[in-house]
C-alpha cells in the first residue's frame, strides 16, 4: 500500500500548493464575480456583473484594443524574431572560430530585462521628445516635436506593441534557431543532390520546417501579450485600456459594485486564455513540433 501511494504523496506538495494558492484564487475570484461577498453579507450568486459587463461599451472597446495589441505584438515579434534567427545563423556560419556563445547571450538581453524597464526604454525612445525623434530632427527629417507621431501613451497602443516586439522577438528567435541550425548542414547537401537551388531550398524545405515552431512561438507571444498588465499599464492610455488594466481599474475604482465586474473581466480573460492554451496544445501535438528533425 505504501509503495503504491508513494508517487502520489511526492506529487502532493506541489499539486496542493498550486491548487490552494492558484486555483483557489481563481475560484475565489469566480465566486466574487457572482457577487459572493460573505464578509459584507452578500451570499447570493447572480450574473449581474456579467450582464453589466457584456453590455458596457467600454468592455468591448477594451476587448478590441487587447486583441489588436496582442495581434500586432505577436506578428511584429514573429517577423523580427525570424530575422534575428537568420542573422544569428549567418553569424555562426562565418565566425566558426570565435565562440558563438557571445552572440547568443547578447541577443537574449531583452529577455532578461524586466518588463517595466523595457517599457521605459520605449518611452525614452519613442515619445515625441524621445531619442528617435531627436535623431530624425538631427537629420532634418522633422522640424518640431509635434511632427513626430504619438507612439507612446496613444489610444492605438503602439507603445505597447513596440515594447513587446522588442522584448519578445528574441524569444521567437530562440524557438526558431535550433530548427534552423538542424536544417542546414546535411539537409542542404541532400537537397543539392536533388538539384534544388538556394531559393527552392528555402521555399520547399526551410519554411515548412520552421513553420510549426514559428506558429507556436507567435501564438505563445499572442497569449502572453493578451493577458499582460505591466507594459500596457505604463504605456497605454486611461481609456480605452487593455482588459487586464481595465479589470484593475474597476477593482481599484472605489465603488464596491465594480469589484464583481472586475473579477468577471478576469474570468472571461481566464476562459479565453484557457481556450487559446488548448488550441496551442492541440496544434503542437498535431504538428509534432519538436520531433522529426532531431
**Range 11-50, binding other proteins (CB under 8 A):** 11, 13-15, 17-19, 21-30, 32, 37, 39
Task: Tell me how far, at minimum, the Cβ of 234 lies from other proteins, in Å.
Answer: 6
Alpha-carbon span 183 to 206, nearest angstrom = 7
Task: Tell me how far, at minimum, the Cβ of 18 lies from other proteins, in Å.
Answer: 5
Residue 213 or 263 having the CB closest to other proteins: 263
Task: Tell me how far, at minimum, the Cβ of 29 lies from other proteins, in Å.
Answer: 2
From candidates 6, 45, 141, 207, binder to other proteins by CB under 8 A: 6
The beta strands (E) that lie in the chain are given as none
Distances in Å between the Cα of 262 and the Cα atoms of 223, 235, 243, 278 are: 20, 21, 10, 25
Answer yes or no: are the C-beta atoms of 235 and 154 closer than 8 Å. Answer: no
Kindly state whether residue 228 participates in binding other proteins, applying the rule CB under 8 A: yes
Alpha-carbon span 179 to 172, nearest angstrom = 12
Kindly state whether residue 223 participates in binding other proteins, applying the rule CB under 8 A: yes
Total residues interacting with other proteins, rule: CB under 8 A: 86
Residue 222 grid coordinates: 499572442
Task: Tell me how far, at minimum, the Cβ of 163 lies from other proteins, in Å.
Answer: 10
Alpha-carbon span 9 to 287, nearest angstrom = 35
Q: Which 85-114 residues touch other proteins, going by CB under 8 A?
A: 86-88, 90-91, 93-95, 103, 106-107, 109-110, 112-114
Residue 18 or 211 having the CB closest to other proteins: 18
Residue 57 or 193 having the CB closest to other proteins: 193
Picking from 179, 194, 132, the residue whose alpha carbon sits closest to that of residue 293 is 179
Residue 57 or 99 having the CB closest to other proteins: 99
Neighbour count for residue 80 (Cβ, 10 Å): 17
Residue 125 grid coordinates: 525612445
Q: Which 161-180 residues touch other proteins, going by CB under 8 A?
A: 166, 169
From candidates 135, 207, 211, 256, binder to other proteins by CB under 8 A: 135
Backbone φ, ψ for residue 129 (5° rounding):
-105, 25
Amino acid at each position: 500500500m505504501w509503495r503504491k501511494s508513494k508517487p502520489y504523496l511526492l506529487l502532493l506538495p506541489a499539486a496542493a500548493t498550486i491548487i490552494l494558492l492558484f486555483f483557489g484564487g481563481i475560484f475565489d475570484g469566480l465566486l466574487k464575480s457572482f457577487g459572493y461577498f460573505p464578509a459584507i453579507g452578500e451570499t447570493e450568486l447572480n450574473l449581474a456583473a456579467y450582464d453589466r459587463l457584456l453590455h458596457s461599451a467600454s468592455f468591448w472597446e477594451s476587448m478590441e484594443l487587447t486583441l489588436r495589441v496582442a495581434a500586432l505584438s505577436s506578428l511584429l515579434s514573429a517577423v523580427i524574431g525570424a530575422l534575428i534567427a537568420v542573422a544569428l545563423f549567418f553569424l555562426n556560419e562565418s565566425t566558426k572560430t570565435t565562440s558563438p556563445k557571445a552572440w547568443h547571450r547578447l541577443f537574449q538581453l531583452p529577455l532578461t530585462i524586466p518588463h517595466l524597464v523595457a517599457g521605459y526604454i520605449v518611452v525614452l525612445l519613442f515619445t515625441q521628445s524621445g531619442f528617435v525623434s531627436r535623431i530624425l530632427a538631427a537629420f532634418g527629417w522633422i522640424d518640431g516635436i509635434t511632427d513626430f507621431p504619438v507612439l507612446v501613451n496613444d489610444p492605438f497602443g503602439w507603445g505597447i506593441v513596440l515594447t513587446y516586439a522588442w522584448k519578445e522577438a528574441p524569444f521567437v528567435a530562440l524557438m526558431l534557431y535550433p530548427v534552423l541550425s538542424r536544417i542546414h548542414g546535411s539537409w542542404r547537401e541532400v537537397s543539392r543532390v536533388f538539384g534544388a537551388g538556394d531559393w527552392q531550398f528555402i521555399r520547399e524545405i526551410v519554411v515548412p520546417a520552421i513553420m510549426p515552431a514559428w506558429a507556436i512561438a507567435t501564438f505563445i507571444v499572442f497569449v502572453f501579450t493578451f493577458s499582460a498588465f505591466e507594459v500596457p499599464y505604463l504605456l497605454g492610455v486611461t481609456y480605452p485600456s487593455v482588459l487586464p488594466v481595465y479589470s484593475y481599474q474597476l477593482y481599484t475604482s472605489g465603488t464596491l459594485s465594480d469589484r464583481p465586474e472586475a473579477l468577471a473581466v478576469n474570468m472571461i480573460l481566464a476562459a479565453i486564455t484557457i481556450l487559446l492554451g488548448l488550441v496551442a496544445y492541440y496544434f503542437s501535438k498535431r504538428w509534432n513540433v519538436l520531433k522529426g528533425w532531431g
